[in-house]
Chains A and B, each alone.
Chain A
Amino acid sequence: MSTINEQLDSLKTEALSSLNNIINKEELMMWRTKYTGRSSALSSILKNLKDVPQEKRKEIGLLVNDIKKNLELLFKDKDASFDNKIANEIDRNIDISLPGLPVRNGSLHPITIALNKTLKVLSQLGFSSIEGPEAETSHYNFDSLRIPDDHPARDMWDTFWLDSSFNNEELLLRTHTSPMQIRFLEENDPPIRIAVPGKCYRYESTDATHEWMMHQVEILAIDKNVSIANLKATLQSFAYEMFGSDAKIMLRNSYFPFVEPGVEMAVFFRGEWLEVMGAGMVHPDIISAAGYDPNVYSGFAAGMGIERIAMLLWDIDDIRYFYQNDLRFLKKFKN
């Protein structure tokens, strides 16, 4: 006589193999009754568990329940597969290649995307983003930045003048975001690390590479012992994050009245050296005008045009696209 274990094994094997041959719900229901129903062999083993020797009773009981549970699961799976099949037969002509229900895609303006990217990189370098007014006095835009009216350096910035004044001072549309250097220094003590984004304006005609309205980000770092080497490292990290890990930078001599020394940064990108920003060490006059000792505090500043950066990033050949706001242009930029 076979043992109960052997009996259970063969029962299980039999149930599994017969399940494979079932092709409809009726047969499946009969299969279920036969193997797991009240009068099934499994049930009768359970009923007669008292005949099993005491020491094996628990083991056999667990085993039977396990098999029963297993067969129930198999039954459910098979049953569900019949349901699906029925559903499929009803909707036999479904075309899964049909489009999903439409959901709109919006977009940020490419200048915003480039600006966000710039500010994010700068934020990683510790620069907080601060904004300021676009209409400025000539004091903040020029004089306090060492660009007096009687100096030819003033000619570097063609200016829109406003028919309005403030405390008897002439007003203008800021030509750079640098006035915020001064405004921020008036109200904050070093250490300072800020990035100033915003619109700027130049009184010049528009062509493929010039716009009279543009966006700039100016950065300013002032602390004890800030050096040219710090400036170089900061600009290098910036270029690395913005233009990729193979971006090389070059600093060249340049001139801006509010920095000394003054440099220009070029980035080697897509096979050529491209000017990306002007920079330099904050002129000691500006540090002392803010009330700090230039022998103790030093700093650097840098300014970049976001249109230029966006044009480089996406290989856009005409700056005039940006403010035309043609939907076909705007849709191309996916953050």
Chain B
Amino acid sequence: MFVSINWIREHITIPDNISVDEIVDKLTKASVEVDGVKTIGDWWDPTLMQVGLVNNILPHPNADRLRLADIQLSNNEIERVVCGAPNLEIGQKIIFAKTGSKVFSPKDNKFFVLETASIRGIESNGMVLSESEMGISDSHEGILVLDKNVKIGTPAKDILSDVILDVHIWPNRPDLMNIVGIAREIDAIFNSVSTLILPDIKFDIHENMDISFPNIIIDTKDLCPRYIGILLKDVSIGESPQWLKDKLLSTGLRPIYNVVDITNYVMMELGQPLHAFDFNSLEGSIIVRNAKKGEILKTLDGIDRKLSPDDLVIADDNAVIALAGVMGGANSQITDATHNVFLEAANFHPNSIRKTSQKFDLRSESSARFERNLPPYLAVIAAQRAAKLIQDICGGTIIHELVDVHGQLDVNPQLVEMDIQYVKKICGMNVSEDEVLQKLELLGFSLHSKANGLLVIEIPLWRTDIHIVDDLIEEFIRIYGYDSVPSIPLSGSIPMHPQQKIVGIRDKIKDMFVNKGFHEIITYSLTTIDKLTAALGESAVSSNMPVSLKNTLSSERSVLRTTLKHSLLETISYNLKNGQQDLWFFEAGRAYATKNDLYEGIYPTSPLAEDEFIVGAISAKVKDRFDMNTNKNIGFFEAKGILESIFNNLELQESYHDANVYGFSNELVDIRIKDVIVGHLGALNASVLHQFDINESVILFEINLGLLSKVLANHQPFVQFSKFPPVVNDIAVVLDVNVLHIDIHNVLIESPLVVSAQLFDIYSGDQLGPNKKSLAYKLTFQSFEKTLTNEEVNIEQSKIIKTLINKFDATIRE
């Protein structure tokens, strides 16, 4: 909400020594957030921008659209200017800028200095200003016309400068959504003794028999606790006076017709929304009721609203005439032909107003106030205030006392009990009852009584948000000041909440990948079905359909991801396009799926199955000594080596097996730990890469952290190494090409005397014959009991060789 400090000053006295900065600072600390401060007139030169009187207007001899105006600035000073404003009239008081004065040009969006100029052959010495040229508002439809009583020669700065605060009001404080409320708050914050000046609400009544007051019927008293009507006869509809327009403009509202402007003005002044109907267009009674199925109302914004029984409406005998508390209907709106006005000041139930305004996506100033829960008493004051203003400004007669229809209203103020011991405990400081009461009283609270050692606090009528002692603690402490609250560290024992297993292992693995030279990425959890399909293949996506969103910001973010692979490939693609090479990326993040009986994700009680993965990819060349790319791409075995190293560090025994996963080339393996497949690793095939617009080879791996954390073993205890010397022998085994290294290796390390068998050479060639290969191993023999003799080693080695020959039809190369 925009708050004019000038307007605030009409209701409270702000001492001169309090600057606007100080008001902003204290408001922000103790009350509402001030999002912006706009200063009006700080640049106006008091000697050059002053009030002038339009003395005479002559036609411009050379231009139809321009006129010549004589502006009187003092008894003996008259300037003639060329003026294009259509609303200029003799006798107006205006703001005149003399030559040399700084003026804002809205067209160029910058300031310029006014010089004597010849406009179509006539010399012009100065300028009659519009609001936009003064930086008051962006209205430049005509010149700014002042009240007739302003004295000629008064500096513009003295009468028009202002400071406008852009105030963000919390959803629980409807009492602050108006000038009087903010003034009351500022008064309390500054410990002020000034009395809040409330607006004048006295008006005259002329009972008039030739027009009858409509019957007001509330069908739904629970949704409309109070409805007040006022009937005004022979009102003259027209423009509002300048002061009223200025005030509306300062709040950001546009002036329309005087009657409508007054309802808006009172809403801004007191916080109570009002609505004015054209009385002659109404038929019979005014009824507050639920809409009937199929009813339609064209609201003031010209849109037909299909109503349902959830919507609270105002109707007459014929039709719906307003969406209660949200927006009026076009069928009963004020026009320039309106003579008689029916004014509504009502209280509506916040939930109902909110539901309707949400349903129609129709957020008005009115609905914003009602949905925050207004007190019913406010409608009375606002009705009186509006009636008074309409009478003063638009003429007409008020033909009846205001008609106040309501159910059982709780007119007694709310009472809340306060235990000072509890206040002390929650604040963490020693405060006296008097101190707490004194602060609360500044805000309008009062001590109702004392009972059983408790203070009973009377809540001011406008505070519909205060219900419990904790609410009062907030009221006290924000005025007391958080700066004055002591800092006391938490005491008591520090609770030990055990770490979730997956968190520990994830952080550990992330650090390992970083140490291997990977860069961590974090990508969006939302994507498209197409992206998922490109990465996973159609059948994988259709068997695990992603959860889609009901409301999306963009079609690119329409479903929850079921994998992280596409994100990684998109990141590679993006970086390649930006000229980056040597891409080693990984991401630790979640994928989301619908739960089923077999599958619940990492949280048993979560609504979706959420799983955590580490997915990594390398698209890079092998580097030479000088960190330059060679022709060779980082391949499957480099990546496998990295994973082996990481599993080794996790004290896990993993194994690799043939796999069948969409999107990979032949170089692809499952990674298993104790027969659980925890992930896979492979080189992506060209067709997948093509879909992500990647022209480099990519090795990609995925590890399911949830599964991994389940198979994770405790730390292995330290096992003493052998103190006896090892014997190292090399053996080379000639085999059929199809025999796997892992099978040979398993045989070698099965031997109780072999502590390690390291593959150091792979050879195939003519010498061996077709379809043969030779694998050479360095075997380390060692005993935990004694020093092995050569003979013992030879016997063991022969046993091993025998097994290899039997099992694999191997021959031993000499």
Instruction: Point out residues on A near B: beta carbons under 8 Å.
Output: 99, 101-109, 111-112, 116, 125-126, 128-137, 150-153, 155-156, 160-164, 166, 169, 171, 173, 183, 188, 190-194, 199, 201, 203-206, 212-213, 221, 223-230, 232-234, 236-237, 250-255, 257, 260-264, 281, 283-284, 295, 298, 322-328, 330-331
Q: Contact between B574 and A324 (Cβ–Cβ < 8 Å)?
A: yes
> Is B355 interfacial (CB-CB < 8 Å)?
yes
> Is B477 interfacial (CB-CB < 8 Å)?
yes
Chain B residues closer than 8 Å to A194, beta-carbon distance: 497
The contact sample of 14 A-B pairs, CB cut-off 8 A, is A109-B519, A109-B522, A128-B497, A129-B499, A152-B368, A152-B371, A190-B495, A224-B492, A227-B488, A228-B427, A228-B482, A230-B490, A323-B524, A327-B575
Q: Contact between B474 and A260 (Cβ–Cβ < 8 Å)?
A: yes
> Is B344 interfacial (CB-CB < 8 Å)?
no
Chain B residues closer than 8 Å to A261, beta-carbon distance: 470, 473-474, 477-478
Question: Given A130-B497, A152-B372, A162-B550, A106 and B523 touching (CB < 8 A)?
Answer: no
A235 to B126 alpha-carbon distance, docked (Å): 58
Measured between C-beta atoms, what is the minimum distance from B373 to chain A in Å? 9
Supply 14 further A-B pairs (C-beta < 8 A) apart from A129-B503, A193-B494: A107-B514, A108-B510, A108-B520, A109-B520, A109-B521, A128-B497, A135-B560, A193-B490, A213-B526, A229-B428, A253-B32, A260-B470, A261-B477, A281-B470
A77 to B486 alpha-carbon distance, docked (Å): 69
> Is B489 interfacial (CB-CB < 8 Å)?
yes
Q: Contact between B610 and A135 (Cβ–Cβ < 8 Å)?
A: yes
A162 to B596 alpha-carbon distance, docked (Å): 17
Chain A residues closer than 8 Å to B610, beta-carbon distance: 133-135
A188 to B497 alpha-carbon distance, docked (Å): 9
A250's contact among B29, B371, B510, B520, by CB below 8 Å, is which?
B29
Chain B residues closer than 8 Å to A253, beta-carbon distance: 29-32, 474, 478, 482
Main secondary structure of the interface of A (DSSP, over half): mixed
Q: Closest residue of chain A to B470, judged by CB?
A: A260
Q: Contact between B425 and A135 (Cβ–Cβ < 8 Å)?
A: no
Chain B residues closer than 8 Å to A104, beta-carbon distance: 516-517, 584
Measured between C-beta atoms, what is the minimum distance from B36 to chain A in Å? 15
B549's contact among A129, A137, A161, by CB below 8 Å, is which?
A161
> Is B608 interfacial (CB-CB < 8 Å)?
yes
Chain B residues closer than 8 Å to A201, beta-carbon distance: 525
A128 to B498 alpha-carbon distance, docked (Å): 8
Measured between C-beta atoms, what is the minimum distance from A217 to chain B in Å? 13
Chain A residues closer than 8 Å to B547, beta-carbon distance: 135, 162-164, 171
Q: Contact between B490 and A223 (Cβ–Cβ < 8 Å)?
A: yes
Chain B residues closer than 8 Å to A108, beta-carbon distance: 510-511, 514, 520
Chain B residues closer than 8 Å to A152, beta-carbon distance: 171, 350, 354, 368, 371-372
Most B-side CB within 10 Å, residue of A109, A201, A325: A325
Chain B residues closer than 8 Å to A190, beta-carbon distance: 495
Chain A residues closer than 8 Å to B31, beta-carbon distance: 253
Question: Given A104-B584, A252-B28, A323-B522, A234 and B574 touching (CB < 8 A)?
Answer: no
Stretch at the interface among B620-628, B678-686, B774-782: B620-628
> Is B139 interfacial (CB-CB < 8 Å)?
no
Q: Contact between B574 and A326 (Cβ–Cβ < 8 Å)?
A: yes
Q: Closest residue of chain B to A280, judged by CB?
A: B474
**The 9 residue pairs across chains A and B that have the minimum distance between CB atoms:** A104-B517, A227-B428, A229-B428, A261-B474, A133-B606, A166-B607, A255-B170, A251-B482, A233-B487
Q: Closest residue of chain B to A235, judged by CB?
A: B487
Q: Closest residue of chain B to A153, judged by CB?
A: B171
> Is B798 interfacial (CB-CB < 8 Å)?
no
Question: Given A99-B626, A261-B473, A281-B426, A162 and B487 touching (CB < 8 A)?
Answer: no
Question: Given A229-B485, A233-B487, A252 and B29 touching (CB < 8 A)?
Answer: yes
Task: Give residues 515-541 of B contacting A (CB, 8 Å).
Answer: 515-526
Q: Contact between A234 and B490 (Cβ–Cβ < 8 Å)?
A: yes
A202 to B477 alpha-carbon distance, docked (Å): 32
Q: Contact between B482 and A225 (Cβ–Cβ < 8 Å)?
A: no
Q: Contact between A298 and B425 (Cβ–Cβ < 8 Å)?
A: yes
Q: Contact between B607 and A136 (Cβ–Cβ < 8 Å)?
A: yes
Q: Contact between B519 and A228 (Cβ–Cβ < 8 Å)?
A: no
A160's contact among B485, B502, B551, B574, by CB below 8 Å, is which?
B551
Q: Contact between A326 and B172 (Cβ–Cβ < 8 Å)?
A: no
A interface footprint on B538-559 (CB within 8 Å = 1, 0 otherwise): 0000000001111111000100
A166 to B521 alpha-carbon distance, docked (Å): 31
> Is B493 interfacial (CB-CB < 8 Å)?
yes
Q: Contact between A107 and B519 (Cβ–Cβ < 8 Å)?
A: yes
A283 to B468 alpha-carbon distance, docked (Å): 10
Measured between C-beta atoms, what is the minimum distance from B414 to chain A in Å? 16
Q: Contact between B496 and A162 (Cβ–Cβ < 8 Å)?
A: no
A134's contact among B32, B426, B493, B592, by CB below 8 Å, is which?
B592
A137 to B603 alpha-carbon distance, docked (Å): 14
Q: Contact between A106 and B550 (Cβ–Cβ < 8 Å)?
A: no
Measured between C-beta atoms, what is the minimum distance from A30 to chain B in Å? 41
Measured between C-beta atoms, what is the minimum distance from B586 to chain A in Å? 9
A232's contact among B482, B492, B553, B571, by CB below 8 Å, is which?
B482
> Is B304 interfacial (CB-CB < 8 Å)?
no
Q: Contact between B171 and A255 (Cβ–Cβ < 8 Å)?
A: yes
Q: Contact between B524 and A213 (Cβ–Cβ < 8 Å)?
A: yes
Chain B residues closer than 8 Å to A328, beta-carbon distance: 578, 580
Measured between C-beta atoms, what is the minimum distance from B287 to chain A in Å? 24
A99 to B266 alpha-carbon distance, docked (Å): 77
> Is B811 interfacial (CB-CB < 8 Å)?
no
Q: Contact between A326 and B575 (Cβ–Cβ < 8 Å)?
A: yes
A128 to B494 alpha-carbon distance, docked (Å): 10
Measured between C-beta atoms, what is the minimum distance from A285 to chain B in Å? 9
A262 to B487 alpha-carbon distance, docked (Å): 17
Measured between C-beta atoms, what is the minimum distance from B230 to chain A in Å? 29
Chain B residues closer than 8 Å to A116, beta-carbon distance: 507
Q: Closest residue of chain B to A191, judged by CB?
A: B495
Question: Given A199-B525, A298-B426, A128 and B495 touching (CB < 8 A)?
Answer: yes
Question: Given A135-B608, A152-B354, A112 and B488 touching (CB < 8 A)?
Answer: no
Task: Give residues 395-438 of B contacting A (CB, 8 Å).
Answer: 422, 425-429
